[in-house]
Amino acid sequence: MQIAVTGSSGLVGTELVRTLRADGHDVRRLVRRTPRTADEHRWDPSHGQLDDGVLADVDAVVNLAGVGIGDKRWTDDYKREVVTSRVDSTRTVSSAFAQAAAADPSRPRVLLSASAVGYYGDGGDKVLDETSPAGGDFLADVCVQWEAATEPAEQAGIRVAHLRTGLVLGKGGMMAKLKPLFALGVGGKLGSGDQWWPWISLRDEVDAIRFLLTAEAAGPVNLSGPEPVTNAAFTAALGRVLSRPTLIPVPGFALSLVLGEFAQAGVLGGQRALPRVLMDAGYTFTHGDVESALRWAVAQS
């Protein structure tokens, strides 16, 4: 397949591009800077600019662009950047892909566009699947706008799947922050530890995206493991993997002091999300439980 990828330098994007090429696909990376290699094509999503010709013969777009949710404290300016980096990128690539589809309607096309399980807000103990409604916090609102930005592609008849991703476990990302602390024996549950963490291994994240390139799933698709766990259970599993104690909890108020608004939405809240659409479509997880996913993730670093 001819596949274009945005956000190709991130945790998921880097591994996805490598794997897709190993599968034999032709991968084009959309970058904001001056292209350095023949596979790179410049675009400017903040101004809605993407050369129509870049996607003319593309079968699939995997849209992963957006600044890190927890990379900085949530000031008003950074919250705007979180929203615009996702909505502008998605609308730009969706519109360009729609134009390509209009020029060549005979070619089947698919847009796999990133979203997050944060769509559901803090669900408490309620089991959440793709039919569950949106939450009411900032992250839920981001996801609602993010997914709505694919409308041009949907209107053009392109199959669109919204990848509502959980906490990705692999080399880098959250594991790069957690592993050193736990290895020193200073890891512990966050807040009460009762909040649900919808994890997924990086391998299954990438493999699920590969699967969805040809599976007939459309609309929201939860990319999370089949057995979500509480933060306390996640903490205990990581301690077992690293053979370290997990006796030092981090109080919720301390997280709020350090992380601000992000603490409640991104750390102390959670989603007991299940990947019903993915499993109903026939996907089989390599890492079906959190401990096997953590052992794999730790082995990567």
Mean pLDDT over 137-157 rounds to 97
Does 241 score more than 80 pLDDT? yes
Q: Which CATH superfamily is domain 2-300 in?
A: NAD(P)-binding Rossmann-like Domain (3.40.50.720)
Give the amino acid at 89.
S
How does pLDDT run across 35-76, given as a tens digit for each residue? 999 999 999 999 999 997 999 999 999 999 999 998 888 899
Does 249 score more than 90 pLDDT? no
**96 pLDDT band (50/70/90 cuts)?**
very high
Does 257 score more than 80 pLDDT? no
- DSSP for 52-72, written as a single string: GGGGTT-SEEEE-----TTSS
Mean pLDDT over 85-109 rounds to 96
Domain boundaries, the chain: 2-300
Q: Strands 26-31 and 40-42, how do they pair? A: parallel
Assigned token pair, 113 = 């566009």
**86 pLDDT band (50/70/90 cuts)?**
very high
Residues 246 and 235 sit within 8 Å (Cβ to Cβ)? yes
Q: Phi, psi (5° rounding) for residue 212?
A: -75, -10
Mean pLDDT over 140-145 rounds to 97
Residues 122 and 265 sit within 8 Å (Cβ to Cβ)? yes
16: left (phi over 0), alpha (psi -120 to 50) or beta: alpha
**176 pLDDT band (50/70/90 cuts)?**
confident
Q: Phi, psi (5° rounding) for residue 3?
A: -125, 130
Sign of the CA dihedral 214, 217, 219, 225?
negative
Mean pLDDT over 215-229 rounds to 97
Give the amino acid at 52.
D
**206 pLDDT band (50/70/90 cuts)?**
very high
Percent of the chain at pLDDT > 90 equals 81
Residues 274 and 222 sit within 8 Å (Cβ to Cβ)? yes
Helices marked H in the chain: 11-22, 76-103, 138-148, 151-155, 173-183, 202-212, 231-242, 252-259, 261-262, 276-280, 290-300
Q: Average per-residue pLDDT in the chain? A: 94
Distance, in Å, from the CA atom of 18 to the CA atom of 39, rounded to the nearest integer, reads: 13
Give the amino acid at 127.
V
Half-sphere exposure of 301 (CA within 13 A, CB side): 19
Between 258 and 48, residue with greater pLDDT: 48
Mean pLDDT over 183-200 rounds to 92
Mean pLDDT over 91-114 rounds to 96
